[in-house]
C-alpha cells in the first residue's frame, strides 16, 4: 500500500477524511492484523484492499498490480457470514468456482475445503440450519476454495460467543498452516490480534493513521497466561488508551450538543 488515503463525501458534499498516507507492505504467507478502535478506518482499509471501496488517493497493489475492482484473487470473510440462503453448504462453496474451474475440479476443491473446516457432514444442509460458528466456517471455506492470493478477514469472529471464537481461532491457525495463505485480519480485540498474528498494525483514529507496527515472534499456540503475551497486551493497551478516550470524548460531546 502506497500513500493510501480515503475521503468520504457526505450528502452536503462536505468531505470527511477517514485516513491518509498509509504506507504498508505485507509479506507473503504472513498473518497480519489491523488493530484499532472503532472509527479508525481499519475495515474501510480492508474493503479498499478487497476492491469494494474506491481508493481516494494513493494506490494499493497486489503483487505489483493496482487494485481497481473486487476479484477472486482476494477472498474476503465478513463479520456476517454472508452466505446464500437459497443454496446448501456445498453449493455455497461452489459459488465462486463455477465457470472458473472445471466441474470435477470445483467439486473436489469444495469437498477438500469443507473437510478442512470440518463440515463435510453438513454439505447438504441449508444455511439456516447451521450455527453462527459453522456458518462462518463455511464462509472461510468458500473464500479459500477460490484459491485467493490473500485472505481478508473483517472481524470474522466478532459476532460469535467466546467458546466458539476460541475454537475457530485454533482452526484458523491450522488452516493458515496448511494453506500458507497471506491473511489480513481486522479486529478490535487486542488479545485476538496477539494470539493469531505474525505482525500487528495498530491504528489510531481522527485522523486514522498507523500508530504502531510490530512483529510478534512468540511460539504458537500462544496461551493467554504466557508472560510475554501479557506484556504485549499491556503495551498495546497503553497505545490504544489515548485513542479510545478520544473516540469516547467525541461521542459524548455529540450527546451534549444537540
Partner 1 sequence: MKLALKRIGFLVVVLGIWQLVYSVGIFEDIVFPSPIKVGEALYEGFADGDFIHALGASFRHLFMGLSLAILFGTIIGVLLGKSKQADETAGMYLIALQSIPSIVWVPLAIMLFGFSEFAVVFVVVLGGTFVMALNVRTAIHSVPPQLVRAARTMGTKGIPLFFRVEIPSSVPYFMTGIRLAWAFSWRALMAGELLSNGPGLGYSLRYAQDYARMDQVVAIIIIIGVIGAVVDQVVFSKLEKNVRKRWGLMKS
Q: In whole angstroms, how close is the CB of 95 to partner 1 at the nearest point?
A: 6
254 binds partner 1 (CB under 8 A): no
What is the grid cell recorded at 23?
504506507
Q: Which stretch binds partner 1 (CB under 8 A): 14-22, 68-76, 156-164, 228-236?
A: 68-76
DSSP 205: T
CB atoms within 10 A of CB 27: 9
Q: In whole angstroms, how close is the CB of 135 to partner 1 at the nearest point?
A: 10
CA distance 10 to 46: 21
207 binds partner 1 (CB under 8 A): no
Q: Are 113 and 144 contacting, i.e. CB atoms less than 8 angstroms apart?
A: yes
The closest alpha carbon to 19, from 46, 41, 48, belongs to 41
75 binds partner 1 (CB under 8 A): yes
Q: Are 167 and 91 contacting, i.e. CB atoms less than 8 angstroms apart?
A: no
Number of residues that bind partner 1 (CB under 8 A): 29
Q: Which stretch binds partner 1 (CB under 8 A): 95-103, 157-165, 171-179, 250-258?
A: 95-103
102 binds partner 1 (CB under 8 A): no
Interaction pattern, residues 138-157, with partner 1; x per rule: CB under 8 A: ----xx--x-----x-----
**C-alpha torsion sign, points 27, 29, 30, 31:** positive
Which of 3, 7, 29, 82 is in the footprint of partner 1 by CB under 8 A?
Answer: 82
Give 69-124 as a 3 state SS string.
CCCCCEEEECCCCCCCCCCEHHHHHHHHHECCECHHHHHHHHHHHHHHCCCHHHCC
Give the pairing of strands 15-22 and 2-9: antiparallel
Which of 15, 128, 254, 258 is in the footprint of partner 1 by CB under 8 A?
Answer: 128
Interaction pattern, residues 5-44, with partner 1; x per rule: CB under 8 A: ----------------------------------------
Interacting residues with partner 1 (CB under 8 A): 50-52, 69-72, 74-76, 78, 80, 82-87, 95-96, 100, 126-129, 142-143, 146, 152
Amino acid at each position: 500500500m502506497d500513500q493510501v488515503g480515503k475521503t468520504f463525501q457526505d450528502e452536503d458534499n462536505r468531505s470527511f477524511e477517514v485516513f491518509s498516507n498509509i504506507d504498508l507492505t505485507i509479506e507473503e504467507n504472513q498473518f497480519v492484523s489491523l488493530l484499532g478502535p472503532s472509527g479508525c478506518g481499519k475495515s474501510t482499509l480492508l474493503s479498499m484492499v478487497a476492491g469494494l471501496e474506491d481508493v481516494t488517493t494513493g494506490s494499493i497493489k497486489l503483487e505489483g498490480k493496482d487494485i481497481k475492482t473486487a476479484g477472486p484473487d482476494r477472498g474476503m470473510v465478513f463479520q456476517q457470514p454472508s452466505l446464500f440462503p437459497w443454496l446448501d453448504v456445498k453449493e455455497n462453496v461452489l459459488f465462486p468456482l463455477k465457470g472458473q474451474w472445471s466441474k470435477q475440479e470445483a467439486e473436489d476443491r469444495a469437498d477438500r475445503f469443507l473437510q478442512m473446516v470440518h463440515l463435510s457432514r453438513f454439505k447438504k444442509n441449508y444455511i439456516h440450519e447451521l450455527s453462527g460458528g459453522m456458518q462462518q466456517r463455511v464462509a472461510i471455506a468458500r473464500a479459500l476454495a477460490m484459491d485467493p492470493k490473500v485472505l481478508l478477514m473483517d472481524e470474522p469472529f466478532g459476532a460469535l460467543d467466546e467458546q466458539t471464537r476460541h475454537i475457530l481461532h485454533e482452526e484458523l491457525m491450522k488452516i493458515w498452516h496448511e494453506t500458507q495463505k497471506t491473511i489480513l485480519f481486522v479486529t478490535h480485540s487486542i488479545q485476538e490480534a496477539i494470539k493469531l498474528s505474525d505482525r500487528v498494525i495498530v491504528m489510531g483514529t481522527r485522523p486514522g493513521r498507523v500508530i504502531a507496527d510490530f512483529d510478534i515472534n512468540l511460539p504458537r499456540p500462544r496461551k493467554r497466561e504466557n508472560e510475554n503475551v501479557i506484556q504485549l497486551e499491556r503495551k498495546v493497551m497503553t497505545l490504544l488508551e489515548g485513542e479510545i478516550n478520544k473516540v469516547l470524548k467525541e461521542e459524548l460531546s455529540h450527546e451534549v450538543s444537540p
